[in-house]
Structure 1
Amino acid sequence: MVSERGLAVLRAIVQDYVSTREPVGSKSIVDKHRFGVSAATIRNDMALLEDEELIAAPHTSSGRVPTDKGYRVFVDQLTDVRPLTSAQRHAVEIFLGASVDIDDVLARTVRALAQLTHQVALIQYPSVSRARIQHLEFVALAPRRVLAVLIADTGVVEQRVVELAVDHDDAVLRTLRDAANDTLAGMPMADAATALPALAERFPDASRPLVTELLASVAGIIGSTRQERLIMAGTANLVRTEHDFTGSIYPIMEAIEEQVELLKLFGEMAAEQHGVVGNRDVSVSIGRENEPFGLAETSVLTTGYGTAGGAIARLGVLGPTRMDYSTNMAAVRAVARYLSRALGDQA
């Protein structure tokens, strides 16, 4: 069992090591922090922390550095998550406020988060398959070419050009649009996909081939959006912290580029909500907790974002375990809040 002073010593070691990247010794702690005890007492506290595997000596006769377990205890005890400065908040608001659509706002958000944290920033693209249909439109481009447009309640707009086997009919397009919106608007995507065949049967035989082709394109749009994906920025930040990793960073880069494992990790973090007391909206997965995903030397911080209807996806940052957790957690939380507000304004 770690004492209150022991936890304070652990916090000092984490903060100093994150700041300097140098192993932290008892004399340094006494000099920098006001514990009111001798260096010998601090050494005893450090010995107990080492027994608990919360800190370790990277070299003989060196200072101590936090272990993954030590970072976990530090994060779970963290209460002083520092908010963004007023200048940072204003910059984020202005930057995101200039967005023109959801693709633009997500691209701007991930860049802003990478700049704020100096880590790899990640945003999970909202899955249309988990959303509801807001509107369907069919736009004639040529006698045998129609643009099918699907708008979801998350703000996502998906479209597909349909090459028809027969000439389109403007009246049929209008009738299909109205019938589709009357039937499908507000319906979850999965339910809408199964409702499409019945919608086609409501049209006369003469227009059935055209209607079937167009509704097949809508089904294709819904099916294609079930593939999860991430938007990222700041991978150069990972290269700049290469010295924080014991081995090559290329496996980490490959895992990030592959995205599959990261998406699995995002899903687990959403379900388990690894977080800190008082800050449960930000999930933190540290070091060996990420080993199943090929990211054993990294920490990942995520939180949900969405509209008033609830979270629709997650955003976060990835970097070495030696990171400024307090500042990064504040940035992740604040940027998620601004993104949710931007999506609400666009809805």
Structure 2
Amino acid sequence: MDVPGWSGRDLEVISDLRRLGDAANPDAETRERIRNGLLERLAGGDRPGGRRRVLAEVLAAAVALAIALAGLGLVLSKDALPGDALYGIKRAGESAELGLTFGDSAKAQRLLEFASNRLDELTALGDASPAVYLSTLADFQREAKAGTAELTKVATQGSGRQLGELRTWSLDQHEKLLAAQGGVPSGAFGEFVGSAELLSRIEARAQTLQARLDCFQITTGQTDELGAVPQAGSCEPPVDTFTGAQPPAPVPIPPSSGQLPAQDVSTSTVPVTPAPPTPLPAPAPSQAPTAVEAPVPAPTSPRAPTTTSSSPPPLISIPPVLPGLPGVGIG
């Protein structure tokens, strides 16, 4: 039977739910027994604390019934596809499962698992509408980005083992995406190409980070939609790593103890020619040398002339006292 707006799978699920409801429907005798039991409990509720106890039991039964129905819905929605009536229950179960997962690495793995489920659903969609394909591919991209960002952050802060797992995951999902290419409608092909490009970027990011695990600096300290951004350039530490600042300016070397400090240091490349020494002024010709005073004559002797002779004084030579010794000259 074809019903407009409902697929054959939806009608099968509805039929199964109806059969489960009929099986759980009690007969008239059972309903009467339950009714009498409730009335008896309510009749005894006039005692202190009796009504409160009955109300607590009813609420507990209601909660147990809700949990049972929710568990049944999760079991039935395990194979639900986008567009099915139970697909919302399936996604709600995944959100609850993610909330109960502890640890950054475990959450990242769970997100990547959900993204892989989206590609499994994409392969099984068949002749679904382009809107369903677009929604499934958008969910895949969102979960793949979130899982990759969390996993790269954990990997770069630890041993980096998760980067190899991320590369393997991206290659596997690329094969799934190519397998589903034939059924993707033209209206969703742009989103399909975007998903393929995203997987290539994830694989390249994991490969680059994995190659820098032995470097002095693995990441730049910044993040994007794929998580940690790898550092570019050399793996060696920079020059100013251990000083923590720019290299200091060169300090002039002080002169040694045997040298006098220079008065002026010129940085010009032009050679400096020393100035010639200033000649001392010659003594006046009329002025006698001050080293030897003129002889003072006696009062009764005639005055000696004051003119000085320009000829040198006579040289007096004394022969050596002992043979082999030099002679002594005076004058």
How would you bin the TM-score normalised by the shorter chain?
under 0.3
Give the structure-2-normalised TM-score.
0.21
Give the strand-richer structure, 1 or 2. 1
- Indicate the structure whose relative CO is greater, using CA pairs within 8 Å and at least 6 residues apart: 1
Give the structure-1-normalised TM-score.
0.20
